[in-house]
A and B are shown apart, each in its own frame.
Chain A
Amino acid sequence: MTDMTSSVQSTLVRPAQTRRDIGIKKRYAAERRFKAYGLAAILIGLFFLFVLLWTVVSKGYTAFQQTAITLPIEFSEQIIDPKNERGANPAKLMTANYPLLVRDALVKALGIDPANKPLVKQATDMVSASARTQLRDLVVADPAIIGTTANVSLLAEGNIDSANKGQIDLTVAEANRKVKDQQLEWMKKLTETGAMAKQFNTGLFTYGASSRPEAAGIGVAALGSLYMMLIVLVLALPIGVAASIYLEEFAPKNRLTDLIEVNINNLAAVPSIVYGLLGLSIFINFAGMPRSAAVVGGLVLTLMTLPTIIIATRAALKAVPPSIRSAALGLGASKMQTIFHHVLPLAMPGVLTGTIIGLAHALGETAPLLLIGMVAFVVDYPGSPMDPSTALPVQIYMWANEAERAFVERTSGAIMILLIFLVVMNLGAILLRRRFERRW
């Protein structure tokens, strides 16, 4: 006892210099540094997430507005149908000189001398070439409009639209600019009279592919994506659930089962472009399905999504406690009845969550679709999954390769729409899980 107290005392009185230096300060500094590295890593990740989203939103929000020029168009009979043949030959209305109507209206609105050809050309360049089809459709739909004057809202040409949104650098010399000084002056004039104004860009949601940015939209591509998602849902969900039930509940432990397991795990990690090659050579080349069709895209994406759904479903089935099974079997249910009446319904929230996540993944997938010919210039809505169509991410890819300023804006806008779809799907999956998931 006395020994001990004395030794304690001797420790206490030991002078500071002789205390064993265990480098505690250094070690704590290393500890703080290490912790700071970890925090920095997370901040770096979040920083890039923020920059990515910021880039898309800051470049893309203007795509939801489009400059339009409202002009009083005189549907002059002399221009549309000078020989009065439309009664006998309605096709005449399809080929009439509609751009001339726009030119006359512009010349009047801006007060230009019609004989000054270069000036008139500059003025007509401000209106999108899609005005021709727009006026044609108006006249064909209601021929009685001929001979009257109506206010028509025409799309402004892409560069004019960019200039109106302040995206064109006006300090550049006029010769190197897409928008000329004269046009800027006219824009100011038209804006003052209220003829030129920005409006909500409904065309972005309804139009199809176009080489003119102002007339390009994602409507057609979104329909193609919708077809593919429906095919994936209809095929991948039942097949995936059936496969998981077999593997989780029935499969005997043998080499074949092992092989299937390794296979599925591997398929989940196969590069998506390989599925595109598979689709090209089996569905298109061998089975003779049409190129660029949503049905082929849907099948390829189904094969790609299946492993995701199977892995999620198996996890959900595994999470159902054995007591449920034992109870059902004990009451005399067959194994099939146990699974389909009791286990599967309880696992359903997990299954659906996995399916939605798989679908979201398939919705954003681009590479395999490029190989099966969905990089197509599709203007019309596909009537069925067998028709040529394109998909939302492929449309983004095609726009990303366009040089014009207005296309960069539209690409970002389309990405925003795609991301919103993905966020909604993922939120749905999270809510589903929160709402229905049971902790056993």
Chain B
Amino acid sequence: MSTSLILLIILIVGLAAYFAGRARAMASSKGKLSVLHSLPGYHGVYVAIWAVLPAAFVLALWLLASPFFIENSVRSALPESVHSQGSATTELMLGQVMQVANGLKRLNSDELTAVTSGSSSLRDALAAKGVPMANAGEPYMVEAAQHYNSLRDSSRWVMSAVVLIIAIAGAVFAIRGISAPFRARNRVERVMLGTLLLASSIAILTTVGIVGSMLSEAIRFFQSVSPSAFFFGTVWDPRFSAAGSGGTEGQFGLLPLLAGTLYIAFVAMLFAVPVGLFAAIYMAEYARPVVRGIAKPLLEILAGIPTIVYGFFALVTVGPFLRDISAQLNGLVTGNYVNFIQAQSVLTAGLVMGIMLIPFVSSLSDDIITQVPRSLRDGSLGLGATRSETIKRVILPAALPGIVGALLLTASRAVGETMIVVLAAGVAARMQLNPFEAMTTVTVKIVNQLTGDLEFNSPQTLVAFALGITLFAITLCLNIYALYIVRKYREQYE
């Protein structure tokens, strides 16, 4: 029986258990429903939970654990000649046996006898069924594969039987416990509460998963490259081609990538902060409700556009535009029509990222400015200050902590942004200060190292996880500090 079929059967048993439980509750009320502690439906759900949950739990456990036991059994059944060649070979052979086992299932009985008696080649027989094999295969493999298949089949049958028995036993047990005073609702609600708690712990699990997975891969990376060479190295040269040529290790210096990341984020903030802040001030303090009602959603469209679209915009419009205009400027001044801004440059990426960040700055600051109490404004205006003086001398100082928090959140987004820089910033890792040249970022390198063919044991790919955990740590600090500030600020004026 396939897993989905077993699941379906469990669910059907659960449905039947629901109706049985309900009927039993009705019967035990003897026609007077008010004597029941819980509504009949709760009794039904209670029985269904007993039917489904334990059975599903056992099913999941069995599915997770059985491959281990079966593989162990097959591994120990492999001939001594294989074991003597070390564990790596054993694992390789085990993989092949599974491949053969998979192929044998597709053969019909005639072909199977032909293969087992050795009259037809295993490799050809399997290749005809679309299962390729690396080598001709050996006789013991067929035996081991058959052993594997039979173990799997019997494991499946035992599992189906056990799960079904548990489902039915659970239902019967629960039905026997039903009586008029039985508190079915409380039991059901306790299970529901557990489910809710489980759902909310997924947030924590995700964080644990992020930190755990990246740390473990990063530690593997640091086994081959020393942390000081990574964190303080000034040269990024992972040498994809030299991997395996022996001896020559690449250099994995984080600093050029970090410099590029921060530089581009800085240029983006340089553009986004004044524009976003002034837009927020205008919308919060000056704009009539109609203008605000139109301009605010329009600006927020910018936040809803996928970043890949910004990347494309930088690649085909902004980059070439800056390149051409720099050539024209250069020509007007020196007579030499050579562009001094590269199409892929810090400026291009920073500018486009800045456009993306405008709505973040403006929405967050707008919220914070409108939270400043009316009385502060009225006091200042009443003393004769103009609106702009009120804003500059009263509102902004009062809103400053919140705005700083908002800017930190925006900066964390700029640091973690990927698609714009992949398309607009270039891939050359260098440390320099000219914003018209290409630089690269941490995110670009993560993408570069992990697209294409992967093998999970070379420092060339593992370095991506070390970069990832660095990025995560930077944004985590920014986020937590920013959220802390914003929260404090809210409390102040609430």
Chain B residues closer than 8 Å to A306, beta-carbon distance = 202-203, 206
Which stretch of B15-23, B49-57, B297-305 is in the interface? B297-305
CB-based contact A364/B307 at 8 Å: yes
Bound-state Cα–Cα, A263 to B211, Å: 12
Chain B residues closer than 8 Å to A28, beta-carbon distance = 386
Say whether, besides A246-B196, A278-B209, A370-B451, A271 and B203 are in contact (CB < 8 Å): no
CB-based contact A371/B447 at 8 Å: yes
CB-based contact A262/B386 at 8 Å: no
Q: Does B195 belong to the interface (CB within 8 Å)? A: yes
Bound-state Cα–Cα, A270 to B416, Å: 8
Q: Does A80 belong to the interface (CB within 8 Å)? A: no
Q: Does A40 belong to the interface (CB within 8 Å)? A: yes
For the A-B complex, the count of residue pairs with Cβ-Cβ distances under 8 Å equals 260
- Chain A, residues 416-433, CB within 8 Å of chain B (1/0): the string is 001100100010000000
Chain B residues closer than 8 Å to A335, beta-carbon distance = 189
Say whether, besides A242-B195, A266-B483, A45 and B202 are in contact (CB < 8 Å): no
CB-based contact B197/A246 at 8 Å: yes
Which stretch of B68-76, B134-142, B470-478 is in the interface? B470-478
Q: Does B282 belong to the interface (CB within 8 Å)? A: yes
- Chain A, residues 39-62, CB within 8 Å of chain B (1/0): the string is 111101110110110011001000
Bound-state Cα–Cα, A412 to B275, Å: 27
Q: Does A269 belong to the interface (CB within 8 Å)? A: yes
Say whether, besides A42-B283, A46-B295, A334-B185, A246 and B200 are in contact (CB < 8 Å): yes
Chain B residues closer than 8 Å to A41, beta-carbon distance = 274-279, 282
CB-based contact A260/B386 at 8 Å: no
Among the interface residues A39, A52, A263, which one has the most CB atoms of the partner chain B within 10 A? A52
Among the interface residues A51, A259, A366, which one has the most CB atoms of the partner chain B within 10 A? A366
Chain A residues closer than 8 Å to B275, beta-carbon distance = 41, 44-45
Bound-state Cα–Cα, A272 to B417, Å: 8
In the assembled complex, how far is the CB of residue A409 from the closest CB belonging to chain B, in whole angstroms? 11
Of A265, A282, A367, the residue contacting B443 (CB under 8 A) is A367
- Chain B, residues 282-293, CB within 8 Å of chain A (1/0): the string is 110110000000
Instruction: List the 4 shortest-distance A-B pairs measured between CB atoms, nearest first.
Output: A271-B416, A38-B282, A364-B306, A41-B278
In the assembled complex, how far is the CB of residue B436 from the closest CB belonging to chain A, in whole angstroms? 21
Q: Can you report 21 residue pairs joining A to B where beta carbons are below 8 Å apart?
A: A38-B282, A41-B274, A41-B282, A44-B275, A45-B276, A49-B298, A52-B310, A242-B195, A243-B199, A246-B200, A264-B203, A267-B207, A271-B412, A271-B413, A271-B417, A273-B468, A274-B472, A274-B475, A370-B451, A371-B446, A400-B312
Chain A residues closer than 8 Å to B418, beta-carbon distance = 271-273, 366-367
Chain A residues closer than 8 Å to B256, beta-carbon distance = none
Chain A residues closer than 8 Å to B192, beta-carbon distance = 336
Chain B residues closer than 8 Å to A270, beta-carbon distance = 210, 416, 472, 475-476, 479
CB-based contact A260/B317 at 8 Å: no
The chain A residue with its CB closest to the CB of B296 is A42
Chain B residues closer than 8 Å to A197, beta-carbon distance = none
- Chain B, residues 14-46, CB within 8 Å of chain A (1/0): the string is 000000000000000000000000000000000
> Beyond A42-B279, A336-B193: 6 further Cβ-contacts under 8 Å?
A42-B283, A49-B302, A260-B203, A269-B479, A274-B472, A285-B456
Q: Does B170 belong to the interface (CB within 8 Å)? A: no
CB-based contact A49/B299 at 8 Å: yes
- Chain B, residues 175-215, CB within 8 Å of chain A (1/0): the string is 00000000001000100110111111111101101100110
Chain B residues closer than 8 Å to A244, beta-carbon distance = 200
CB-based contact B306/A418 at 8 Å: yes
